[in-house]
A and B are shown apart, each in its own frame.
Chain A
Amino acid sequence: MVASTEAAVPLPRRQSALARFLKSVALLRESPVGMVGAGIVIAWALAAILAPLISPFDPNSTILPFQKPGAIDPTTGKVFWLGTDKIGRDILSRIIYGGRRVLIYGPIATACAYAVGIVMGLAAGYFRGWWDSILSRVSDIVLSFPIFVLYVIVISTFGASGLNIVLAIIFASAPGIMRIVRGLTLDLRNRDYVAAAQTRGESPLYIMFVEILPNARGPLIVDACLRLGYVTITIGTLGFLGLGLPPPDPDWGGMVNENRALAPAFPHMIVYPCLAISSLVLGLNLLADGLREISIRD
């Protein structure tokens, strides 16, 4: 057979998924803003992963209260780089561990919200009709709640546990994600390759998840970065309002709230946590902007 001999022709190697991923990461170099953002985010991620190694003190142990930044712990001789709070915990260590906490809860909440929002958005955009009407109505109603009013009643009613916060964030974010996915799906479902899949009898699930979803990834990745930033703000703000992750584990917003009364005398107790949360969100937002810039260009 001719075919079998031809099949013996060596084929070009397929690019591995990793290689393609690295290639797309390399694209980020085109955007200086995105690079700065990625740098900040990676720095925080590293700090969160390496928290036990790099934080000088245990975040929850009370050592010496009211220390200014740069003061030295007389027992161990270590430096309180950012000072201590009113009950004597090292602020730098608490900020590092606080970052770890927010970088665990934030991505989990965002990812879960995405899972829910994507399924809803694909269904509404692909099937349209009744599915769309019902899902869109539901999400309109959730979105008509001023978001913190929603958080305040939900968390004050059900209590401020990590799980409740994650659930509240999913509940509040999924409709927004659903709207974006629905919009993208409504556009992509009219593409000829979707029609091609339909005309060969593919199932709706296959079409939604293989033909449509991968091609919506660009805007979704950008949105995910922005949303992760927003979730970080949400977790911090809830902490600031006293509705956040339960103490004594450090929480950036909570640190500001606990030491607020002492701000006039000891601004370092609240300024550094504020800087921490602002820098992480800034990093995520800049990264999103860089990604968007690149995705528009190509």
Chain B
Amino acid sequence: MTEDARPPVLEIENLCISYFTRAGEIPAVKDFNLTVHAGESVGLVGESGCGKSTVAMAIMRYLGSNGGIVGGSIKFKGRDITHLSDEELRRMRGSEVAMIYQEPMAALNPALTIGAQLMEVPLIHEAVSEQEAYDRSRQMLADVKLPDPDRVMAAYPHQISGGQQQRVVIAMALLSKPALLLLDEPTTALDVTVEAGIIELIAEIAGKFGTAQVFISHNLGLVRETCDRICVMYSGEAVETGTIGDVFTRMRHPYTRGLFGAIPLPSANKNDRPLVAIPGQLPLPHQRPEGCNFGPRCEYFRDGVCGPNAIEMRDVPGEKSPHQTRCARFEEIDWDAPLGAGQVNDPIEPGEPVLVVDGMRKYYELYDRSIKAMLSGEGVKYVKANETLSFDAREAEIVAIVGESGCGKSTFAKVLMGLETATEGTITFKGDEIESTEVQQRPREQVASLQMVFQNPNDTLNPSMTVGGQIGRVIRKFGVETDPDKVHERVMRLLDMVKLPRDFYFRRPRQLSGGQKQRVGVARAFAGNPAMVIADEPVSALDVSVQAAVTELLMEIQREHGTTLLFISHDLSVVRYLADRIVVMYLGQIMEQGTTEEVFAPPYHPYTEALLSAVPIADTSVDKRKIVLEGNLPSVLNPPKGCPFETRCPRKLGAICETERPPVLVDSDTHRIACHIPLESLQAVEPVFFSVAETGSPAGPGAGSATTGSAAGE
């Protein structure tokens, strides 16, 4: 093993953190060790409740009134910060250790200009003059590639976009040249293509400023792109640490392996390599088991070895860099054995089209009541939420609609469900035109036949009604059963179907975990034997291991019932895994559609290409070309006249893109691209993804060589 020659910036030893509540002391983090060297970036990865953010807050010693460090030490440049006085602590915060937050909008003070908030940092920590503080702040805004720094300095946070806000937060953190930067899920609240720009910036910081980083994330792909080392946390403990390369290719803890099995890597496939969910649930902090915390969910658990004594971190022998695991049996486990049951499903042959969308438009009228607008006759503006959508979905097929916020996918779902009516065009569902019939006017069978699974587990269920009551209501409403006993029996069978215990019947939503609530949501959608289910980001709010379970459940039911699934998502890795066909939308229009294979291989629409490139991939054997989009997402109120993607397109041809709608290029029966670029040129584009083995380029952060363009600012 080699020791890192660089001096350690942060050394955390045997750190224990507890929260003190009415129920007593609740340990949040136990026996945590971490060393970060200058210029190094370490990823802290785990699911919600694993204690990763608590560690970051402890480094800042900001644990709230009921949290406290109960053991161990946190040494920053050799000084134990657990013993600093309030004044010493204040001088350290923001000058030597700085933080970047999850929601940039919330992290900036809405009542102060950005300039005032930035200038504060040098004014407080270095007592410089106002003028110098201004100059430095302005320079830092330019360094984080924000266009027009003077304007941004004078602006209030709500006047700039989310991506720009995050750049401001990063600038604020870097202003006093901190030795350590803590990043708490810095891109979770951003759109994928915006995220790519921020990640590129973060990756540059370490090189440019020599700042050590602790990068907190639930996303293994992001950690792979930004970090040198990784520390996987589970239930308040570090379970595995090591370099990205070691941990990603030779993981030595069953939880780490479980995580990788649960995320849709490019190699996963719904038919022959399905995702494997980690069984069970994360234990609550006061209900942790004795011995190995992961024991109850681990297939290798052996009483006496994995408990009741606490498991220590141990070195994995034979590695070049330090690699540790908290598994008592890691030497005995066959790490190459396939994970899970490895069930193989036959691909389904799709049947007749169930849904045909033809030239559907949805415009919203927006009344501008200002006198000026009325005089100039522009009192009514149209928001083109959906512009000439045409596609179909066949029986038992999974069609994914992919796009970022504002792309119109939710509006389309509303029209389909009859909550809105279309402005033009037709939507044919099982032979009936439904585009202008509101849900209350639709026949009951039709309503039952077209149901929806919602995004947010916390408000998909009515908190005041029991689980059974909510499912039962659907059954009665759709007239599936009317006799109370039969309704009851059917609810029970639906609970069985979504693999929930029958005694959940009388439970209320707040007694359920997020994944369980989504299962109830699935049961409710399938209560009326639907022919088609729309799933609007059904798993995006769930933890990784739960995502896999709910995704698999949804697909299993869909497969069994031959249901058509319209899967709305922004996450291309999930979509690649489960969809048969993909529709890519941008600003209300379809940019590209085709089978999954076709969309993921050239020819690409330039937007699809950028979107694919923006997806973080947690597989060290796959690399990708980096394409970072410039500019902001245009407002739907004022979309570009020609191609909607024209303002950000790295392959823009010229004036034609600005003035004319792009033609639809037909690549195959199923594959269509709306672009001015000739098909031949698009076909000649290199694939976004390539296998590392083929090109021989090394794995690791920033390995992508073909970086085209950079974020000059959104």
Question: Do the two chains touch directly in the complex (Cβ atoms below 8 Å apart)?
Answer: yes
Q: Which residues of A contact B (CB under 8 A)?
A: 3-4, 6-7, 9, 11-15, 30, 191-193, 195-196, 198-203, 210-211, 214-215, 217
Cα separation A215 to B458 with both chains bound (whole Å): 13
Given A201-B444, A211-B462, also A192-B502 (CB < 8 A): no
Query: Which B residues are CB-close (under 8 A) to A192?
Result: 454-456, 459-460
Query: Which A residues are CB-close (under 8 A) to B464?
Result: 214-215, 217
B439 within 8 Å of A (CB atoms): yes
Query: Which A residues are CB-close (under 8 A) to B688?
Result: none
Cα separation A195 to B413 with both chains bound (whole Å): 11
Query: Which B residues are CB-close (under 8 A) to A201?
Result: 418, 439-440, 442, 444, 447, 477
B452 within 8 Å of A (CB atoms): yes
Cα separation A203 to B440 with both chains bound (whole Å): 8
Closest to A195 in B: B454
B70 within 8 Å of A (CB atoms): no
CB-based contact B455/A200 at 8 Å: no
Binary per-residue interface labels of chain B (493-506) against chain A in the complex, 1 for a CB within 8 Å, 0 otherwise: 10010000011011
From A3, A9, A200, name the one whose CB has the most chain B CB atoms within 10 angstroms: A200
CB-based contact B461/A199 at 8 Å: no
Interface residues of B in 513-528 (CB under 8 A from A): 521, 524, 528
Cα separation A198 to B521 with both chains bound (whole Å): 14
CB-based contact A199/B452 at 8 Å: yes
Could you list 21 examples of A-B contacts with CB < 8 Å? A3-B489, A3-B493, A6-B492, A6-B493, A9-B502, A11-B506, A12-B505, A12-B506, A13-B506, A15-B506, A192-B459, A195-B454, A196-B452, A196-B454, A196-B524, A200-B451, A200-B478, A200-B528, A203-B440, A211-B462, A217-B464
CB-based contact B506/A14 at 8 Å: yes
Query: Which A residues are CB-close (under 8 A) to B505?
Result: 11-12
Query: Which A residues are CB-close (under 8 A) to B417?
Result: 198-199
Q: Within the complex, what minimum Cβ distance (angstroms) separates A239 from chain B?
A: 39
Cα separation A198 to B440 with both chains bound (whole Å): 8
Q: Within the complex, what minimum Cβ distance (angstroms) separates B598 from chain A?
A: 31
Q: Within the complex, what minimum Cβ distance (angstroms) separates A12 from chain B?
A: 5
Cα separation A4 to B478 with both chains bound (whole Å): 22
Query: Which A residues are CB-close (under 8 A) to B488?
Result: 7
Q: Within the complex, what minimum Cβ distance (angstroms) separates A200 from chain B?
A: 6
- Would you list the 5 A-B pairs with minimal beta carbon distance, nearest first? A192-B454, A214-B464, A191-B459, A193-B462, A192-B460
CB-based contact B461/A193 at 8 Å: yes
Q: Which residues of B contact A (CB under 8 A)?
A: 22, 417-419, 439-440, 442, 444, 447-448, 451-452, 454-456, 459-466, 470, 474, 477-478, 485, 488-489, 492-493, 496, 502-503, 505-506, 521, 524, 528
Query: Which A residues are CB-close (under 8 A) to B22?
Result: 30
Query: Which B residues are CB-close (under 8 A) to A9?
Result: 502
Q: Within the complex, what minimum Cβ distance (angstroms) separates A118 from chain B?
A: 15
- Which residue of the partner chain, among A11, A13, A199, A210, contacts B418 with CB atoms under 8 Å? A199
Closest to B496 in A: A6
Q: Within the complex, what minimum Cβ distance (angstroms) separates A137 from chain B?
A: 16
Given contacts A193-B460, A199-B419, 11 further A-B contacts (CB under 8 A): A6-B492, A7-B485, A11-B503, A192-B454, A199-B418, A199-B439, A199-B451, A200-B451, A200-B528, A210-B462, A217-B464
Given A196-B452, A200-B451, A200-B474, also A7-B489 (CB < 8 A): yes
Cα separation A274 to B440 with both chains bound (whole Å): 57
CB-based contact B419/A198 at 8 Å: yes
Query: Which B residues are CB-close (under 8 A) to A13?
Result: 506
CB-based contact B502/A11 at 8 Å: yes
Closest to A9 in B: B502
Cα separation A15 to B503 with both chains bound (whole Å): 12
CB-based contact A200/B462 at 8 Å: no
Closest to B451 in A: A199
- Which residue of the partner chain, among A193, A202, A211, A215, contacts B477 with CB atoms under 8 Å? A202
- Which residue of the partner chain, among B448, B459, B506, B528, contacts A193 with CB atoms under 8 Å? B459
- Which residue of the partner chain, among B447, B466, B485, B502, contacts A200 with CB atoms under 8 Å? B447
Closest to B505 in A: A11
Cα separation A214 to B419 with both chains bound (whole Å): 23
From A7, A203, A215, name the one whose CB has the most chain B CB atoms within 10 angstroms: A7
Closest to B510 in A: A298
Closest to A192 in B: B454
Q: Within the complex, what minimum Cβ distance (angstroms) separates B535 from chain A?
A: 12
CB-based contact B462/A215 at 8 Å: yes
Closest to B460 in A: A192
CB-based contact A7/B492 at 8 Å: yes
Query: Which B residues are CB-close (under 8 A) to A14?
Result: 466, 506
Query: Which B residues are CB-close (under 8 A) to A214?
Result: 462, 464-465
Closest to A198 in B: B419
